[in-house]
């Protein structure tokens, strides 16, 4: 089940689980947590869209799911390597610049400190060289430049599993010490699935 509509020539869609997660967060919190979770993600995806616009690329579709926002280009023509890198890193750059702006102008505020931490966390998470994360996409792009497509896929998967292994160990340790917090473990399982099923 999906909600679909068009903004100009761009198709925007939201799946059922997106609304389920939003409803759950709103139910568990009166709004502050929603701000700290949603704003860094909005900044991140806006960075990708702004980078696309600066490179002369136009989004064909934006798809919101429970744990990600997928942006698809309008056409399949090949873009330059610098354009691809700029779009991939646009989200992380936006989070870092937003955090820097908050630090320079609003650091005295407790809310600003939480938002700085949230933006840095989103940037750090997305730059990990795993699966469909920005770092994983960049790793695959770099491998594609120097190796055959099949070898590039295998190398990028190897890097992903190399990074995921200590994260899995940390998630189990935190779960055992933290009284059953499954958040990092579930995230690792999801990321592993993106690596395995990424073609």
pLDDT of residue 155: 92
pLDDT of residue 184: 78
Q: In angstroms, how far is CA 181 from the centroid of its own chain?
A: 22
Question: How confident is the chain (199 residues) per 10-residue block, as mean pLDDT?
Answer: 74 73 64 71 89 82 72 68 88 95 83 89 93 90 90 92 91 76 78 79
pLDDT of residue 158: 93
The pTM of the full predicted model, rounded to 2 decimals, is 0.80
Please tell me what DSSP assigns to residue 199.
-
Structure-token pair, residue 181? 């917090």
pLDDT of residue 139: 93
Q: Which residues, in sequence order, are bridge partners of residue 61?
A: 11, 72
pLDDT of residue 32: 60
Q: Which residues, in sequence order, are bridge partners of residue 12?
A: 5, 62
Q: Using CA atoms, how far apart are residues 23 and 18, in angstroms rounded to an integer? A: 9
pLDDT of residue 117: 92
pLDDT of residue 129: 93
pLDDT of residue 35: 67
Region of 8 please: left (phi>0), alpha (psi -120 to 50) or beta: left
Q: Using CA atoms, how far apart are residues 106 and 86, in angstroms rounded to an integer? A: 28
Contact predicate 157/188, CB 8 Å: no
Structure-token pair, residue 128? 């990990």
């Amino acid at each position: 089940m999906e909600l679909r509509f068009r903004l100009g020539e761009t198709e925007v869609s939201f799946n059922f689980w997106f609304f389920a997660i939003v409803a759950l967060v709103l139910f568990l919190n009166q709004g502050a947590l929603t701000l700290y979770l949603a704003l860094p993600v909005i900044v991140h995806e806006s960075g990708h869209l702004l980078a696309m616009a600066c490179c002369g690329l136009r989004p064909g579709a934006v798809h919101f799911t429970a744990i990600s926002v997928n942006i698809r280009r309008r056409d399949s023509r090949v873009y330059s390597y610098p354009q691809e890198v700029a779009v991939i890193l646009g989200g992380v750059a936006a989070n870092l610049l937003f955090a820097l702006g908050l630090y320079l102008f609003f650091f005295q505020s407790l809310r600003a400190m939480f938002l700085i931490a949230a933006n840095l966390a989103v940037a750090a998470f997305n730059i990990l060289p795993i699966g469909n994360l920005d770092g994983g996409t960049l790793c695959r792009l770099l491998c594609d430049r120097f190796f055959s497509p099949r070898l590039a896929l295998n190398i990028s998967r190897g890097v992903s599993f190399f990074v995921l292994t200590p994260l899995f160990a940390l998630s189990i340790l935190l779960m055992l010490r933290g009284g059953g917090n499954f958040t990092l473990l579930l995230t690792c399982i999801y990321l592993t699935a993106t690596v395995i099923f990424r073609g």
